[in-house]
Amino acid sequence: MAVENTLSIIKPDATKRNLTGLINAKFENAGLKIIAQKRMQLSKSMAEKFYEIHKNRPFYNNLVDFMISGPIIAQVLRGDNAVNLNRTIMGATNPQEAEEGTIRKEFAESIEANSVHGSDSLENAHVEIAFFFSDIELIY
Ligand code: IDP
Ligand code: MG
């Protein structure tokens, strides 16, 4: 399997409840390495741009407001099959549909406040990592 980098975000619902360590333990226990990390307060324009792909969805405005409601952690996870492995560890978007042991099953508050973001393809991972980090900030 190929070694990949993927973008992970710990969302405001999770930073507010002090869950960053418990969430990152799940990534590290699964063999993913955190090779870059920053805690940030997103501006409205940054959140709008990051989620631009969802601009026409009915939940877009609420999603942007949620993403700026508190600090986030933007981070890059690296490992074998990192894009899909991260999505598996996260669980389904709707926590009610998420598998036991996943982050969203254990920690998400709702389909919106679902604790984590993860890139959904290698191509999007490259774009999303570049949104937050320059190459020299990725420390293998
Ligand atoms: P994903 O985060 O599992 O990839 P996406 O469909 O890409 O899910 O949606 C992006 C984010 O938008 C979700 O993580 C969630 O925070 C929010 N979201 C998705 N669907 C809904 C919905 O039906 N109602 C409210 N918020 C939603
Ligand atoms: Mg998505």
- Percent of the chain clearing pLDDT 70 (strictly above): 100
Per-residue pLDDT tens digits for 24-40: 999 999 999 999 999 99
Question: Which ligand lies nearest the alpha carbon of 59?
Answer: 1
Is 54 catalytic? The answer is no
**CB 59 less than 6 A from any atom of ligand 1:** yes
In this prediction the pTM is 0.98
Q: Which of 91, 117, 118, 125 is catalytic?
A: 117
Distance CA 98, CA 14 (A): 17
Residues 6+ apart with CB under 8 A from 64: 44, 47, 48, 51
**Residue of 62, 67, 70, 68 lying closest to 16 (CA atoms):** 70
